[in-house]
Structure 1
Amino acid sequence: FSASGNQMQSGSFEGSTQLQLENYASGIYFINLQTETAVETLKLMVE
């Protein structure tokens, strides 16, 4: 996100809001990824 972040420092409110949404979305994606990995690990341990 660093490249788009530098572009959006023109200070437009919409730009900063979109950047926050992108960071939020990537955070959720990362959490989902971690959860899936944990679930897969648990499945392996149960079998």
Structure 2
Amino acid sequence: FNLDNPNPRPALTLLLVGESLTADADPGWWDYRRDNIWKYRDKA
């Protein structure tokens, strides 16, 4: 996991990406983003 290196970031990034790719999709997350973030960006 690249822990002996002074900069372990690349290994941590791969771990986080792997967790994201294997996670179950939650439609509520997309609804929240659409209603609270993207909608206001389109109007600005």
> Structure 1-normalised TM-score?
0.38
Q: Which has the higher helix share?
A: 1
> Structure 2-normalised TM-score?
0.40
